[in-house]
Structure 1
């Protein structure tokens, strides 16, 4: 790790926290620290489950409970069990909380405008563009890639979203039951595994590696949420899938893809995959690739 880069990150953090006023307990002049105000925003007008709040904000249960108790004591928030599932607790803004939300929304807008006001139009544009770039890179750095069971809800939702996108993009639609079916067992050890990319507790990408034969594995179900493409998540997934294939004892990795998935083909070619003759009967495949993995 470049120590100069680390030092720059630390300087940036100090500059931002001072400039946006998070070093005191009176953020936006409301007599509360930023953490409480952010929680009000995240609960929003429709309410959120405690699990969503905890995962989305990266808070441990104890700290979240303390924040909620402070807001409840002011009559801003109330929590109750979800209808139909007593295991889930929902936080909602009270009428007073919704009024506070409106005040905070207005003050946040005015504060953001005050950061831009001293700058010329060209500098405002530069700042906003730089903020967009930083936000995207921070989101990319927050993605975590983990193994998951293919039958867990987030995994199923991720795979179903992937299938739906293929169905929209392919002229003939897409039916995952056609051709060589990838079963749940193919996505579990020892036959293979499923990786999920998670951001703020939400699955935003997936990839599967499964054994084909001795020394040969195959990549399947590679997908990243459209709104997060271009942040390097697909590359991170591919790197992990290759590492997992090597850990399985495989030295050749294969995959197939459709010609409409141009971004996927560019990724594979960029990573040293070479086109080979057809090796399966996938009715949707138009191109087949292979890569020899280094030990």
Structure 2
């Protein structure tokens, strides 16, 4: 059985850190392999230190400003997804990640639907996200959910050296 559990750092801190490290290591590897971009060198910080540095901010997504979910299947953590407020009436999906061995089972679609519903509850008029151009399966999920490409938005946290290889999307809700 799959559960979408709101983050509780007292219970999920190690899962949170591990998933974020996996996610960022995966992105760093894809950027290196596909575009010869050394993310760690350009950021000037290791993935582990980056996760520790951003732990407080990312784990502070609590209603009505946001929410962070850990996804578990049979008590094993298989993914995550978050939603945060970026300005009045506008939310942003962050850190959607499903471990590779669990992809293709609809878990990404499920967490996206949950986050979109939360966006409605938080009274967002639109939800934005960013995604790597290499994340083709994720883009398909986003498009099927009604997201459309748009230009970069000011509040995105995408490093400038990623921009040629990144997409920005938005859904009016």
TM-score norm. by structure 1 comes to 0.47
Structure in which a larger fraction of residues adopt strand: 2
Shift of 1:266: 1.4
Equivalence for 1:259: 133
Residue 291 (structure 1) aligned with residue 152 (structure 2)? no
Alignment of 1:105-120 (within 5 A): none
Residue 230 (structure 1) aligned with residue 104 (structure 2)? yes
2:137 and 2:39 mapped to 1: Cα distance? 18
Change (3 A) 1:231 1:220: same
Where do 5+ consecutive residues of structure 1 fail to align?
Answer: 1-141
Structure 1 moving runs of 4+ over 6 Å: none
**Secondary structure of 1:272 counterpart:** coil
Query: Over aligned residues, Cα RMSD in angstroms?
Result: 2.2
Residue 199 (structure 1) aligned with residue 79 (structure 2)? no
Contact 1:187–1:194 (Cα < 8 Å) also in 2 = yes
Contact 1:206–1:223 (Cα < 8 Å) also in 2 = yes
Contact 2:7–2:59 (Cα < 8 Å) also in 1 = no
1:231 and 1:219 mapped to 2: Cα distance? 20
TM-score norm. by structure 2 comes to 0.78
Instruction: Identify the match of residue 211 of structure 1 among 69, 76, 85.
Output: 85
Where do 5+ consecutive residues of structure 2 fail to align?
Answer: 41-46
Structure of higher CA gyration radius: 1
